[in-house]
Structure 1
Amino acid sequence: MPRDVVRTLVAGSGLLSLVLFAGISLGQEAPNANPPADANKGPKGRMITIRGSIDSGLKNRVINATRTAVREGAEIIVFDIQAGKSDFGASLDLANAISELGGKVRRTVAFVSKPVTGHGALVALACDEIVMAPDAKLGDVFGDLPVDARPIEEKAYADFGRLKGHGTWIPLGMVNKDIRLVEVKTPQGKRFMPSDKLDEFKKGVQVLDSTVIKEAGQRLLLDADQARSYGLARGTAGSRKEVATMYGLPESTAAEDILYVEAVRPILVKLEGAFTGRLHQYLLRRLKQASSEGSDLLFVQIDSTSGEVAAADGIAHALKSWPGRTVAWVPKQAIGVATYTIFGCDELIIAPDAEIGGFEISKASKEEYQALADSAVDMSKGGKYPEAFVRGFVDPNVSVFEVRNKANPNLISYKTAGELENPVVANEWDKARRGPLKEAGISLTMNGKTALSVDVAAGEASTRDELKSLFDISGTIPTLQPGWVDALVDGLTSVGGTVLLLFIGLTCLYIEFQMPGFGIGGLVATICFVLFFWSRFLSNQAGSLEVTMFLLGLILIAVELFVIPGFGITGFAGILLLFGSLLLASQSFIAPSNDEESWEMLTNLSIILGVIFLFAGAAVASARYLPAFPYLRHMVLAPPEQVEENDAEASYYGEEESGAASQYDHLLNQTGVAMSTLRPAGRMELDNEYFDVVAQGEFVDAGTPVKVVEVYQNRIVVRPSNGA
C-alpha cells in the first residue's frame, strides 16, 4: 500500500477517533466527567452583606452568618458593606468579631460597594483588606452631626488602623475633625501625620514633599482612588463578581446571600422544669399543633436543670423529625439531660450568661455514655455543632482539644482525643499549645459566651426582642399554649388528682363487690381508673404492661372472692398486681437508677399507701353504716349483727317502701340448701326449685342449709339457718 495512502488513513482514523471521543464526551452527563466550570475553582469563600444601620440585631445576624461560613470551611470571607449611620457599640462588637476571624480563615475582605459614612467604616477597617467600588466613599463617620468623637471612638479607629496595617492617622481622621493631616513623601515611601508633627519629623527623615489631605474642621472622606493612593484599599471592583474574581473565588460566591431564611410563620414552645415523659407527650401535641398551623420555624425555649434521659432522648428525636427549622433558645439554663435535647435542634441561640452542660447519668457505664454520644452526634448531623463538643457534652469520658490545620495554620477546629489517635487526622491537624478544652472524667459545662466562642452556639439573645431581631422577625412570635387536654392531664397526675382518683376508684370498687350485678359503684370505679391510666398514658408513664397488670389483678381478686373458698395466694397475687400497676403507672421507670428516681419512687409509694389507708377506713365505714340507709340496705350486704335490726326495719316499712309485692314473697322464712358457695351471690335449692340468692353477713359454703330472711323484688337474701 502506498505510504501516502497509509498516512492518509492513519490521519483520518485519528481525526475520526477524536471526533467520536469529543461527541461521546459532550453527550455524557456524568458529573465527574464534565464538572461545572465553577466547581473546585480556587479557595472556598463566602460573601455576607451588611445592609442598613448596624444595630444589635444586624450585628448578631452577621456574626451568626460568619460562624456558619467558618463551620462550612470558608477560607475567604467578603463583607459587602452597605451600612449607613450605625450604633458604635454594635459596630465595635462586629468589628472585634471580624478581627478575631484571623485564626479561623485565611483572609477577611471589606467590599465597600456603596458610600459608607457611619460607623460601618470601623467594620471595614477591621477586615484584612478593603476593596471599593469606583463610586463608593469611606469615612466622615459623623457627617453633619454636631458631635465630637469620644476618646473611646478615636481609640477604636486608631487601634484597628494599626492592627490591619492602615496606620493610625488616616482612620483617626475619619472621626476627628480637629486634626489637620498631611501626606509626606520620603525616600522610603509615604507617611501620614498631623501637620503639627511635620517639623519634628523632618529633623530625622528626609522629606521630599508634603501635601495637606485634610484640613481642620472636617473629617476625612475618601473615594476609591484616594483610598488606593493612601494604601487603605487594595483595589477597586465594580461588582461582587469582580471581587470574587479578584480573590480567585468561584462565581457562585457572588450570589446574593441570605443571612437567615425568612420565617414566614415562626412559633415558640416552652420546655420548662424537669424533662419527664409528661413533657415529652406535651411536646408531641404542641409539635402537631405547630404543623397544623403551618409554622416553618420553631423556637424551643429551654429552662431546665433535671429530668430523665429517656424523656430527653424522646424530646430530641421529636424535634429532629419535625419538618420545619428548629432553634433551641436558652435564655437561662439547660443543665443535665436538657443539654442532650439541644442537639435535636438545628442550632442553638443562647444568652451570654446562660449555662449549658452538666450531663451526667448515675451509675452509667462507659459503653452507655458512648452510645448516647453516638446518638447525639447522629442527631446533630446537618446542624451547627462541632462534633467534638457534642461528644464532650454527652460523654464525660471524652477530652476535647483545639487544633490547627497543618497546611493552613489559620484554620481552627476541635477534635476529641480519640479522633486525634487516627493517623489521618493527626497528620492533618496539630493540637493547640494550650491544654484540652475539656478533660476526660469531667462533665462539660459552659456559659453562653464560651459556647459562642467555640461555635457551639450560633447566636446570642437574652430576650425575645433580641431573638426577633436576630432572625429579622417583625411582629410577635406566637407561643404555643397548653390546651385543655394538658390542663386535665396536669390536674389528674398531680398529687391531689392521684389521691382523689384512687380513693374514689377503690372505694367504689369495694362497694361494687358488695352488690349484685353491675351498678353505680362499678361505673364510677371504671371512670376513675380509666382517667387514671389515660392521664398516665399521655404522660408517658403507663402503657400496656400497667393496664394488663391492673386487669389481671382484678380478675384474680374476683376469682378469689367468687370461685375459690377462703382467701389465699390468688387474692394476695391480685392485690400485689393492683398495687404494682398503680405504682408503675405513677412513674416512668421500673426500678430507680439514681437518687432522684429513688426519691420519686418513695413519694409514689407514700401516696399509694396513704390512699390505701384512707380506703380501708372508708371500707369499714361503708360496711358499718351503708346498710342502715333504707335504700342502700337492699343493695349492700349487712354484717350479721345488723340482720335483726334490718329485719325489724323492713317490717316497719313494709309495702310502702318495697312497692308491689314480690313474686318470691312466699319464700320468706323458708329453708333451702346452698347449691354453690355463696360469695355472696350463688344458687339455692328449695322444694326442688333453684333460685339466685345473696348471702347476708358472711359467705356460705355449698351444702349449707340457708334461710330466706328478706325478699326485695327479685332479690332473695339468705343466711345460714343454724339448724333451724
Structure 2
Amino acid sequence: MDSVPHSASSAARQTVIEASRFRRWLCLLCVLVGFALIPAACVRPLKAQTAAEVTDADAFSDSSTTEDLPVGYVVDIPLPIVGDRDAIVAGQLEAIRSGTEGTRPTVILNFGAETGDGTGSSGRGSQFERCLALARDLIDWVPHARLVAFVPKNVEGHAVLPILACEELIIASDATLGAAAIDEPADDWIMTSYQNVSAKRGLLPTAIVRTMLDPEAVAIRVQIQDSATPETVGKEKATQLRSTGAIESEDSLWDGGGLASYTGEQLSRYQWALGNASSLLDAAKVAKINTSLRSVSQLPRDWKPVQVTLAGELSNVRVNQIIRGLTEQVEDGCNLILIRLRGAKADMIQATRLAEFLESEITKDVYRLVSIEAATQGPVGVVLAAADEVVMVGNATIGPDVEAVGNGSPESIHRTINELATGGVRPVPLLAAICSPEILVKEFVHQDTGERAIFTDWQIEQQAGADRWLEKRTVAGGKDIDLDLAVRYRLIDSVDGTRQSAFGRLGLEQEPPELKLSWIDAGVQLLASQTWLPRLLMMIGFFALMAELSAPGIGVGGFLSAFCFVGFFWLEGLNGNVEALEVVLFIFGLVALGLELFVIPGFGIFGIGGLLMLLVSIVLASQTFVLPTNSAQLSQVAVNLFWVACLALGGMVGLLLMHRRLENSPLLRWVTLEPPTPEMLEDRDGIEATRRLENLLGQNGITTTRLNPSGKAQFGNSVVSVVGTGNLIGEGIPVTVVEVRGPLILVEEVEA
C-alpha cells in the first residue's frame, strides 16, 4: 500500500480515528448507563421504622374511655367434647379463680367456638362421660364465678349437659339447643344424670330437658290458678292438673314424636335464656359486663412487654430485623409482644414470614396482642392468625388492598392461611378475603342441620357434602370487613376507644417500650432506604469496567467495578428483589461481553446476548415479579422501558457534551491514548525515537494481539504498540502503517 504523506493527512486522519473510537465508546456507554438507571422506576423505598416517625394520635395516657362495667372472662369450649377437653376447661377456670381471688367474676363459656375455618361442630359426637365430668365441675363453681353459657349456633348431643350446669344462658336467636340423645338412646343412668344437673341449676325446666332425651316425651306450658307464673310440665303432670281443674290455660311446646330442639328465640321468649346474641361482643352486652372480654392468658401477671409498630412498607430487610429483634427480646425473658398495625403494607411472602415467626416455637409461651390502629389493607392482615388477642382501636378498619397485585392465586392464599391458622380461632375465609380483593366470603346454611357457616368459593368446593350447603348471601369481599361480622367470627376480639383499654385488661400501667434496632440493623436499613444508591453503584461499576478494559491487567477499575456490582445486588437483595437467577444472568452477561471484546472480533451474537442478559438481570433485580401476569405489572414494565429510553438519551447527550472534558480529566485520562505534547517532542530522546518510528510508515506487519483499538503488531523483527483506525482487528491479521504521529503508530487492516 502506498504511504500517506504526513503533512497532508495528519489532521484528517486524527479526526477519523477519534470519531471512530468515540462512536464505539459512546454506543456502549449509552446502553449500559441507561440499563444502570432502570431501577429508578421500580425500586420501592424502605422507610425506617422509628417511634418518632409514627404519628401517635391515640397516645397512651391516663384518660380512659372504657365502660365502667365489671370485667368478664371468656373460655372457649370447642365441640364435640371429647378426650381431655373437659380437663382443659377446668384448668382454665381454676386459673381464673386464682387470678381473681376475693371476687366472683363473670365467665362466658363459649360453646361451639370457631375452629379457624368459619365453622364449628354442633356438639354431635360428644362423649357422655366427659360432658358429665365437665357439668359436675361447673356446678362446683357456683361460689366462685357467675357462669354464662353462650350458644352462637346449634348445639346437640351430650354437649347440652354442661350447658345445663351453667347459671345463665345466652343464645343466638336462630340457633337451636336440644336433641341431647341424638348419638345414643338415653338409658336410666343418662336420664338421671341430666335430671340431677337440671334440678341443681334450674336453667331449664325438667320437662323441657326430658323432651331432649325421650322422643315420646311432651312439654306443655300451663297457667295454674292462683299462680303468678306459668309452669312447664310433662304429660303426666298436665293430665293430673287437668283432672283437678287447676289449669286456667295451656300451650303445647313439644308434642313428642322425636327429640326436641328449641330455638334461641323460644328460649328467650319464655325467659329461660338471659337474651339473644350472635357474637361474644353482643353476649357481653346482654350479660352487662365489659365488652372487652379477657381470656385466661390475659390474667394480670408479671409482664415483660415489647411493642413493634408496623407502618409503611414491610420489606424483606425490615421483617428480618423484626424477627432478629424479637428473638433477642424473648431470649431475654419477654412474655408479651404488642404488634401495632398503623397502615403497614406487605406482600404475601413477607407477611407470612412474620406470622410464622409469631406462632413459632420461639414465641409459643409469649402472649401476642395485635392492635389495629389505622386502616389496614392487604396481606399484612395475616399476622392476625398468629395473635392471641386482636383489638380494633377507634375508627380503624381492615380489608383487602384493591390496588395490590401479585399476592397469589386463591388456592395458594388459602393453603398458606390454612397452615397459619392451624389450631387457631381466626376465621380462614375472612383472612383470605383480606389478602385478595378477588376472594368473596359467603354465608351458607346446611340443609340437614340448619347450621350456618361462612366459606369462600374455593373452600366450599373442598367441603365434603358441598351440595348440602345452600348459599344465602355474600358477607365480605372486595371492601373493608364489616365490624359486626369480624367480631361475630372472631377475626377481632374487641373494639376499644384507646390502646389503654387493652393494656388495662392485661394489668399494664404504662406503654411497653418500642423494639429498638441495633446500630448494625439501623445502618443497613438506612442504606437500603436510599433508592438512588443502587443506580449510582451500577453506573459507576460500568464506567469502571470500561476503564479497566482499556488497560492491561487488573487494576483500580476492575476492583471498583466488582465492588459496585456486589453492592448493587446486595442492596436490592435487602429489599427482597434478588434471587439466584438475577446474579447468574448478570455474570453470564459480563462473560458474553468479554468474549465479544477479547476473543471474537466484530459485534455479533455474544455482544447482543450479553447486553440482553445484563438488561434482564438488572430489571429483575429491581422488581418483585419475573414475568408480568396482569395489566398492572405490564404497565410497570412499560414505564420501566420508557425510563430506560429517557435515561439512555440523557446519557448520550451528556456524553456528547462532556467527552472532551472526560478524556482530559485526571480520573479518566488513562482510559485512552493521547498524542504527545510539544514539550515531550522537544526531548532529544523522544525526537530520535519518533524519527525511528517514522521509518515504519507504509510498512506491512502482523498483529500479535487484538487491537481494541490499541494493541501490538510485529514489523520485521520489531514488536511495537499500534492503534487501529477502523473496526476492531483480531490477532494475526495483516495490517499496514498509514500514519506515524510521534510515538503513535496508526494502522489499518490490509484488504484481501
TM-score range, shorter chain: 0.5 to 0.7
Deviation at 1:543, TM superposition (A): 1.6
The answer on 1:401 being equivalent to 2:443 is yes
Alignment partner, residue 270 of structure 1: 309
1:281–1:595 Cα change, 3 Å:
farther
The equivalent residue for 2:580 is: 544
Give 2:736's match in structure 1, choosing from 686, 705, 720: 705
1:342 corresponds, among 378, 384, 387, to 384
* Pick aligned residue for 2:425 from 384, 392, 417: 384
- In 2, the alpha carbon distance for the partners of 1:302 and 1:603 equals 32
Deviations 1:501-539, CA, capped at 9 Å, x for gaps: 233233333333333333333333322222111011121
CA distance in 2, matches of 1:347, 1:457: 7
Cα displacement string for residues 158-181 of structure 1 (whole angstroms, at most 9, x for unaligned residues)? xxxxxx99xxxxxxxxxxxxxxxx
Secondary structure of the corresponding residue to residue 628 of structure 2: coil
In 2: Cα distance, 1:552 partner to 1:663 partner? 48
Aligned: 1:468 with 2:468: no
Instruction: Report matched runs for 1:576-591 at 5 Å.
Output: 576-591=612-627
Partner residue in 2 for 1:567: 603
Q: Which amino acid aligns with 1:381?
A: T
625, 629, 646: which is aligned to 1:593? 629
Higher relative contact order (CA 8 A, sep 6+): 2
State the alpha-carbon separation in 1 of the partners of residues 375 and 570 from structure 2.
32
RMSD of aligned alpha carbons: 5.5
How far 1:589 moved relative to its partner? Answer: 0.5
- Confirm or deny: 8 A CA contact 1:626 1:636 kept in the other structure: no
2:494 and 2:734 map into 1 onto residues whose CA distance is 85
Task: Decide whether the 8 Å contact of 2:721 with 2:745 is kept in 1.
Answer: no
CA contact 1:420–1:426 (8 Å) conserved in 2: no
TM-score w.r.t. the length of structure 2 is: 0.55
CA separation in 2, counterparts of 1:68 and 1:352?
29
Cα separation, 1, equivalents of 2:581 and 2:713: 40
Distance 2:83 2:614 in 1: 73
Do the aligned partners of 2:318 and 2:525 also contact (CA within 8 Å) in 1? Answer: no
Q: Partners of 1:369 and 1:424 in 2: how far apart?
A: 21
Tell me what 1:554 maps to. Answer: 590
Q: Measure, in 2, the Cα distance between the counterparts of 1:99 and 1:37.
A: 23
- Separation (CA, whole Å) in 2 of partners of 1:398 and 1:612: 45
Alignment map for 1:318-333 (pairs within 5 Å): 318-321=357-360, 323-324=362-363, 325=366, 326-333=368-375
Query: Which residue of structure 2 aligns with residue 51 of structure 1?
Result: 100
Could you tell me which residue of structure 1 aligns to residue 36 of structure 2?
none
Aligned letter for 1:509? L
Distance 1:680-1:497 versus aligned 2 partners, 3 A rule: same
Q: Residue 489 and residue 526 in structure 1: after superposition, are their counterparts in 2 closer, same or farther (change >3 A)? A: farther
- State the 1:696 CA deviation: 8.1
Q: Per-residue CA shift, 1:176-230, capped at 9, x if unaligned?
A: xxxxxxxxxx96479xxxxxxxxxxxxxxxxxxxxxxxxxxxxxxxxxxxxxxxx
Say yes or no: does 1:526 pair with 2:557: no
Matching residue within 476, 486, 496 for 1:451: 486
CA contact (8 A) 1:300 1:328 kept: yes
* Contact map agreement 2:592 2:606 (CA 8 A) in 1: yes
CA distance in 2, matches of 1:45, 1:550: 61
Distance 2:142 2:721 in 1: 95
1:414–1:683 Cα change, 3 Å: same
- Give the Å deviation of 1:295: 3.5
Asked if structure 2 preserves the Cα contact closer than 8 Å seen for 1:681 and 1:694, the reply is yes
Question: What displacement does 1:328 show?
Answer: 3.4
**TM-score (norm. length: structure 1):** 0.56
Letter aligned with residue 383 of structure 1: G
- Bigger mean CA offset, 529-538 vs 443-452: 443-452
Number of residue pairs matched by the alignment? 516
Once residues 80 and 703 of structure 1 are traced to their aligned partners in structure 2, the CA distance between those partners, rounded to angstroms, is 109
**What code does the residue aligned with 2:705 have?**
S
Q: How far apart, in 1, do the equivalents of 2:323 and 2:84 lie?
A: 44
Q: Tell me which residue corresponds to 1:101.
A: 150
Distance of 1:383 and 1:690 partners within structure 2: 81
Letter in 2 for 1:543: E
Report if the CA contact (8 A) 2:311-2:345 is conserved. Answer: no
| Residue 380 (structure 1) shift | 0.5
Report the CA distance shift for 1:404/1:636 in structure 2 as closer, same or farther (over 3 A).
closer
Q: Does 1:501 align with 2:501?
A: no
SS of aligned partner of 1:338? helix
CA distance in 1 between partners of 2:726 and 2:677 (Å) = 13
Deviation at 1:404, TM superposition (A): 9.8
SS in 2 for 1:591: coil
Match of 1:685 among 714, 736, 742: 714
1:345 CA drift (Å): 4.3
Alignment of 1:657-668 (within 5 A): none
Deviation at 1:662, TM superposition (A): 14
1:719 matched to 2:749:
no
Check whether the contact 1:110–1:127 (CA below 8 A) recurs between aligned residues: no
CA 1:535–1:495 in 2, change beyond 3 Å: closer, same or farther? closer
**How far is the alpha carbon of 1:541 from its aligned partner?**
0.1
Q: In the alignment, is residue 676 of structure 1 matched against residue 705 of structure 2?
A: yes
Change (3 A) 1:492 1:607: farther
- 1:405 shift after superposition: 13
Aligned to 2:3: none
**Unpaired segments of 5 or more residues in structure 2?**
1-81, 116-122, 124-130, 172-202, 205-224, 230-294
Within 5 Å, which residues of 2 pair with 1:24-423?
A: 47=93, 48-49=96-97, 51=100, 70-71=113-114, 101=150, 103=152, 188=227, 258-260=297-299, 262=301, 264-274=303-313, 276-277=315-316, 279-290=318-329, 293-304=332-343, 307-321=346-360, 323-324=362-363, 325=366, 326-351=368-393, 353-358=395-400, 368-390=409-431, 393=434, 399-401=441-443
**Which residue is equivalent to 1:252?**
none
Q: Which has the larger radius of gyration?
A: 1
Q: Distance in 2 between matches of 1:563 and 1:468?
A: 71
Aligned partners of 1:42, 1:294: CA distance in 2, in Å? 26
Indicate yes or no: 2:681 matched with 1:651. yes
Aligned to 1:205: none
Mapped partners of 1:45, 1:447: distance in 2:
35
| Alpha-carbon distance in 1 for matches of 2:467, 2:584 | 56
Cα displacement (A) at 1:335? 1.5
DSSP-derived class of the 1:506 partner:
helix
